[in-house]
Amino acid sequence: MKLEVLPDAAAAAARAATRLADAARQAVAARGRFVFAVSGGHSPWVMLRAFAGEPLPWENVHVFQVDERVAPAGDPDRNLTHLKESLLSHAPLPEANVHAMPVEAADLDAAAREYARELERMTGRPPVLDLAHLGLGPDGHTASLVPGDPVLSVTDRDVALTAVYAGHRRMTLTYPVLDRARRVLWLVTGGEKAPVLPRLMRGDPSIPAGRVSAAAADVIADAAAAATAT
């Protein structure tokens, strides 16, 4: 796992956007399409806004979600709401290429299984993402893999439902599909992450983020988050 430290959150998001664009070009050249999954949070939306300005073969770019809150369409708590605002509104990305988690379904377990099948249709069986973008919570969570949730033990499904966390159930990608990703790009910003970033870097299995494979992982952090990691 490699760590790159930028002066502030805006610079870190811009660097992450450049890495994302480089990965997209390489994937399209190698396999004809770029399929990645993106997490929620303010810094990722800044990253996606910068990514939207890159000259890319957008018709060959496909976006999945790492996780999503169970909430109505257009809800400000939905990651999809901000994904559309930051990426779809600024890039010539076909709307059909944004694969939203079906969290409005009446049967959420069936919806999670269908999302896993959609991943398979796009990337093969078992599904292999070209890149998974992840963030890091102050409690060590990533995606919606939060401390103490039974979803941490899921090994037979690529998409699963969590218990209620911070007011919402979540749909999330699980460790198996995250660990198969060709690349993992961590974007970590903010001083509240400083105590936990060193634990991520050493693969501390006592935090959910530390259990994600580090084999093909890069971390881009701002100086505040990396204060005790360098």
Domain extents in the chain: 2-222
Write down the pLDDT at residue 230.
65
Topology (CATH) of 2-222: Rossmann fold (3.40.50)
The pTM of the whole model exceeds 0.85: yes
Average pLDDT of the residues of the chain? 95
Q: Is the pLDDT of residue 184 over 80?
A: yes
| Contacts made by residues 104-113, CB under 8 angstroms, sequence distance 24+ | 104/72, 104/73, 108/70, 108/161, 108/169, 108/171, 109/161, 111/171, 112/157, 112/159, 112/160, 112/161, 112/171, 113/157, 113/159
Average pLDDT over residues 206-212: 97
Average pLDDT over residues 44-67: 96
